[in-house]
Every structure is written in C-alpha cells, then in structure tokens.
C-alpha cells in the first residue's frame, strides 16, 4: 500500500474487483469473437484446409512435448473445446505426476545403479535394514544373512514399533520424575548456576518399568534350548558345505531368541551407519565436483579458466575462477613456484626459474616452529607481491574470496612443512591489522593435497592462540564457506568438550568459557545448541553436561594417539604488532 492510501482498504478492494471483472469480460468477448471468425472461416474453407485447421486447433506443444498448463492458451469456444480441455488436463496431470517425467540420472546415480552385490545369486534387491530398495555390499545383503527382502521389511516395522513404545514409556516416566529429580538435585547441591550433570539427572535406582523388562529378559533366556539336536547340526553342516563363506552361518537355536534379535538389531544398525558414513563422504565429494564444474561453466571468459596448476610435485585441479592475467588464464594450465608463488606459462620457464630461485621459505618472520611445522608472519605491506600471488592462488580453491590486490591492511600467517628441499606451503590464514569487530581470521585455506589431515584445525587453533596472546575474543569473518563452516563447528565442539572434561568447579558461565578459550560467546551458544547441551528451565538457560559426548570425544582422542597434529603454545615466539 502506498503512503496516501486509506487505512480502511475496502474502497481499494472494490475497485480492484471491478477491474478484474471488466478485464475478464473483455478477454471473454475477445475470445468469442475470435472463435466466431475461426468457425466462419473454417466453414468457408475447403476440406483440406478444414483438416489443417482442426489439426492446428490442438493445444500447442512446448519444446519438451507437453501441452501448456494454463487454460488461457486454449480456445475455449472452438468446436473441439471440450476435447482440447480434456487433453490439456490429462497432460497437465501427467506433468504434475513425477513418475511420468523424464528422469535425469547423474553420473554417481548411474554408477550406483550398475553396481551389484558380491553375494552369489543375489539380485541386489532389498536391504537388511528394510529401509532401502537396493544394496551393493555384503553388510546390507538379506541373502547373505539368510533372510528375504520382505522379512527384513517386517523386522524393520517391528523394531520401529518397539522403539516407539520404549520412547513413549520413557517420556511418560521422565515427565513425572523430572520435577522430583530437580528438587532432589537442588537439595543435594548438584545444580549450580545453570550446570546440570547428565549422570546425576539420570538417577541411580532403576524404575519399575526397567525392573519388569529385566525379569522378562531373564525368563526368555531361561527358556532357550540346552543345545542343538543331531538334525539341526546336520542341517548347519549342509548349509556350510553348500555355501561356504558366501553366506552367514545359521544362527537359530544357538542362543536365546532375545539375544539373537539383539544381534540382528546390531547388524542392521551397523549397516545403516555404513550407509550414513558413505553418504557423507559422497556428499562432500559431489559438493566439490559440482562447485568445480559450476564455476567453470559460469566463469568469466568462458574457456579462459585455469583448469590445472603444477605446484611443486603436485598437479592440482582447480575448483573456481581466479583473476589471473588473461594471457595466463587462457592457457588452461599454470606453473607456479611453490616457494615464491610466481606463476609461469610453461614447464621450461618453471625449470629455469627453479634453478635461479633463492627462496626456500615464505618471506617474513618465523613465529612458530615445532618439528617440521612452521608458521611465518608475512606483512602485506612489506611483501606485497608475495601476498597478491598467495591470494590469486587461494582464489582457485575458494568461492567467497574477493580480496586479491589490496593486501596492505592484512597480515598473512603461512603454515609450511619442512624437508631437505625447503618449506612447502600447507595453508594460510589472513587477518586484519586493526579489526573493529575482533575478527581473528579474514580468509583461511588448506591446500588440497593437505586436506583431511588435521592441518585446517591447526590453522584455526593457531588463530585462537594469537587471540589469547592479544587477550581478545576472536571469531572468523563471515560468510564462511561450506568446508570452512564444517571445520569451525568441529573445532568449537572439540574445544567445548575438552573444557567440560577438564572443568572441576561448581559454577560456570559462558563468559568464563569465552575468556579462557578466546571463542566468541555467540559461537559458544550456537555450538551448545547444536550439541543439545543448552536447556531452558523456569526462565533460565541451563548447560547440560552430556557425559556420553565427552566419553565419545575422549575415545577419539585416545585413538588418535600422541601423533595428533596440535599447536603447542610454548613453541610460539610472537608479540602482538603495534597499531599502524
């Protein structure tokens, strides 16, 4: 509504209705007049022309072969109006029905479709979990587990019913017991300043439902047979000789039905976890490939995009367009010195340059060294050419990066891995010299050959270590890329779980966590919410200390061992730069 319109709105609605009526009446009169002219001309025309006119009166086809979906494109007063409307409706329904649409199969879908289960005699139909129509591995093969696809679906329905009944019973019990438990915790002094321990909130004594379920399980285990009969043993041996290692041994009557059902549930759960893990890896791979091809398609200059670069002993496929000079970009392949980052047109020029290049590490001050890992602080004002080349190189693998040449207000922290030939570029991050919003990272990149090895988390940890030395609270500059957001969420989760594990006090606050870890309170709250560790109760926000997540994190840390890539604060030799 405009500023001068009335607040009532009735007059405007009446006027609009009148306009709609007049427009509709005008369009109908135009249609009827056009139809009369067409009918008269068809009567006067010869038979051949009539056939052509009748043929032309059919709904016009779109490039895909379908009729138009709107009824205004059809002559409603033509002699074949009802027939045309019926055809249009049928075609409209067929267009809306996804089963009639032409399926567009991508490469990975056709690849999965052509895969087959390795079990002999299996047609790859069904799944052990009962939730999928096909399988491609032994872990999800019903035939390998001596089951059929229908039996797996029935078992999946039974498991869902049991889970629903169990969740309903637990919710009812927790609803009645929560108020009493919290009051008891307040009396015992377990609840302090918004901290609730998950161990203490669960209660030590079992409920009546748990006692009843335990007795039921004991009865089911007592009823199981003492051993296998002779006929059953012969049947098992025949099955083993017939199928060998291509089938699972028969498990009936070996243990109780309850334990066998638990084993089947564990198998289905493991198969589902394998599918989830595979899908996550496939999504990351497809995301990278899709971004690479999409950026190549929409890159300025069309084919003037660098597709590969020769960097040290690696040949890297690029993901995005980078504004290198046109004479270099149209080559399609670029040769880059891994020490000074100078770009060249041919391998011969690169070979000659490497024979003369005296650089073996980035320019600037080495502010961190532990083992083979070093970090160099490079000033964009003092080493402008190097920083510009670094930004151009990073743009090949970053979508949101917009800074290329204005590098003077930034400091670049370049991480390298040293060997007998020099310090090889692993990754870097940049930060503003004077950030009013306390951003400790403006741009961060791990080179593709060093991804998924822990170096990205080391760069993030190093940026927060600098914020601790500066006695500030830092946060990365937004927007974050997809891979950057995944890395930062993983880092924040690890920092919070480590803090909760080492915390031994009785009172805690988000402000204290932020001051000790240098993580922004907004990032802490979002991470707690994603971990379901922040609850709202009686007008207050409580932090739930989930021991299951802490134990899971501790097990992963133990599995990684002492060779885990971490930043040692004692190896940092750095003082905050003075304001410029």
Active site residues: 477
Cα dihedral 62, 67, 68, 73, rounded to 10, equals 110
Name the DSSP letter for residue 571.
G
Say whether 336 sits in a helix, a strand or coil: strand
- Residues with Cβ within 8 Å of 39's Cβ and at least 6 positions away in sequence, in order, are 78, 79
Residue pair 128/152 in contact by the 8 Å Cβ criterion: yes
Name the DSSP letter for residue 106.
-
Q: How far apart are CA 501 and CA 551, in angstroms?
A: 9
Q: Find how far residue 261's CA is from the centre of its chain.
A: 33
Q: Find how far residue 461's CA is from the centre of its chain.
A: 22
Q: How far apart are CA 248 and CA 240, in angstroms?
A: 9
Burial (0-12, 13-18, 19+ Cβ within 10 Å), 145? buried
Say whether 55 sits in a helix, a strand or coil: helix
Burial (0-12, 13-18, 19+ Cβ within 10 Å), 502? exposed
Select from 455, 527, 513, 453 the least CA-distant residue to 485: 527
Given phi > 0 = left and psi -120 to 50 = alpha, else beta, which region is 342?
Answer: beta
Residue pair 333/306 in contact by the 8 Å Cβ criterion: yes
Say whether 443 sits in a helix, a strand or coil: strand
- Residues with Cβ within 8 Å of 280's Cβ and at least 6 positions away in sequence, in order, are none
Q: Where are the alpha helices (DSSP H) in 128-256?
A: 149-188, 198-202, 208-222, 230-243
Select from 249, 161, 176, 240 the least CA-distant residue to 207: 176
Given phi > 0 = left and psi -120 to 50 = alpha, else beta, which region is 330?
Answer: alpha
Alpha-carbon separation of residue 81 from 52, 78, 85, 99 (angstroms): 16, 5, 6, 28
| Residue 328 in tokens | 């270099």
Q: Where are the alpha helices (DSSP H) in 197-331?
A: 198-202, 208-222, 230-243, 257-298, 326-329
Q: What is the C-alpha end-to-end distance of the chain, expressed in Å? A: 51
């Amino acid at each position: 509504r405009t500023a001068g319109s009335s607040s009532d709105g009735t007059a405007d609605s009446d006027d609009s209705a009148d306009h709609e009526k007049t427009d509709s009446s005008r369009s109908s009169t135009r249609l009827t007049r056009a139809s009369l002219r067409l009918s008269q001309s068809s009567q006067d025309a010869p038979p051949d022309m009539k056939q052509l006119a009748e043929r032309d009166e059919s709904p016009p086809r779109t490039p895909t072969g379908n009729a138009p979906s709107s009824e205004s494109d059809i002559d409603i007063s033509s002699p074949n109006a009802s027939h045309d409307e019926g055809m249009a409706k049928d075609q409209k329904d067929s267009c809306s029905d996804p089963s009639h649409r032409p399926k567009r199969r991508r490469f990975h879908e056709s690849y999965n479709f052509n895969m087959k289960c390795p079990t002999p005699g299996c047609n790859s139909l069904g799944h052990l979990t009962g939730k999928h129509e096909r399988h491609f591995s032994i872990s999800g093969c019903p035939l390998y587990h001596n089951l059929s696809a229908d039996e797996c679906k029935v078992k999946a329905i039974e498991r869902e019913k049991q889970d629903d009944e169990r969740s309903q019973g637990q919710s009812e019990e927790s609803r009645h017991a929560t108020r009493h438990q919290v009051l008891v915790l307040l009396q015992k002094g377990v609840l302090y300043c918004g901290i609730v321990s998950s161990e203490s909130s669960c209660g030590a004594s079992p409920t009546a439902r748990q006692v009843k379920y335990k007795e039921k399980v004991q009865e089911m285990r007592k009823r199981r047979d003492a051993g296998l009969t002779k006929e059953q043993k012969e049947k098992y041996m025949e099955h083993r000789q017939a199928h060998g290692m291509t089938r699972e041994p028969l498990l009936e009557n070996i243990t109780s039905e309850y334990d066998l059902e638990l084993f089947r549930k564990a198998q289905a759960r493991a198969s589902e976890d394998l599918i989830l893990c595979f899908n996550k890896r496939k999504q990351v791979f497809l995301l990278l490939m899709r971004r690479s091809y999409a950026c190549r398609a929409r890159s300025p200059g069309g084919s003037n995009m660098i597709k590969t670069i020769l960097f040290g002993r690696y040949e890297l496929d690029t993901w995005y367009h980078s504004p290198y000079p046109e004479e270099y970009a149209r080559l399609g392949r670029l040769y880059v010195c891994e020490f000074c980052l100078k770009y060249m047109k041919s391998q011969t020029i690169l070979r000659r340059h490497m024979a003369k290049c005296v650089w073996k590490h980035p320019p600037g001050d080495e502010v961190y060294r532990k083992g083979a890992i070093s970090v160099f602080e490079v000033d964009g004002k003092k080493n402008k050419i190097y920083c510009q080349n670094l930004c151009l190189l990073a743009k090949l693998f970053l979508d949101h990066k917009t800074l290329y040449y204005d590098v003077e207000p930034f400091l670049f922290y370049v991480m390298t891995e040293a060997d007998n030939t020099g310090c090889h570029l692993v990754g870097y991050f940049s930060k503003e010299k004077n950030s009013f919003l306390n951003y400790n990272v403006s741009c961060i990149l791990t080179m593709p050959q060093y991804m998924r090895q822990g170096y990205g988390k080391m760069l993030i940890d190093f940026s927060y270590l600098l914020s601790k030395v500066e006695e500030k609270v830092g946060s990365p500059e937004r927007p974050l890329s997809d891979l950057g957001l995944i890395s930062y969420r993983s880092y924040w989760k690890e920092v919070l779980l480590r803090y909760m594990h080492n915390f031994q006090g009785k009172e805690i606050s988000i402000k204290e966590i932020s001051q000790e870890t240098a993580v922004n309170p907004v990032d802490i709250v979002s991470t707690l919410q994603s971990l379901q560790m922040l609850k709202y109760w009686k007008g207050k926000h409580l932090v739930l200390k989930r021991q299951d997540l802490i134990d899971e994190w501790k097990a992963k840390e133990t599995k990684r061992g002492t060779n885990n890539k971490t930043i040692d604060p004692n190896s940092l030799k750095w003082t905050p730069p003075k304001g410029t």
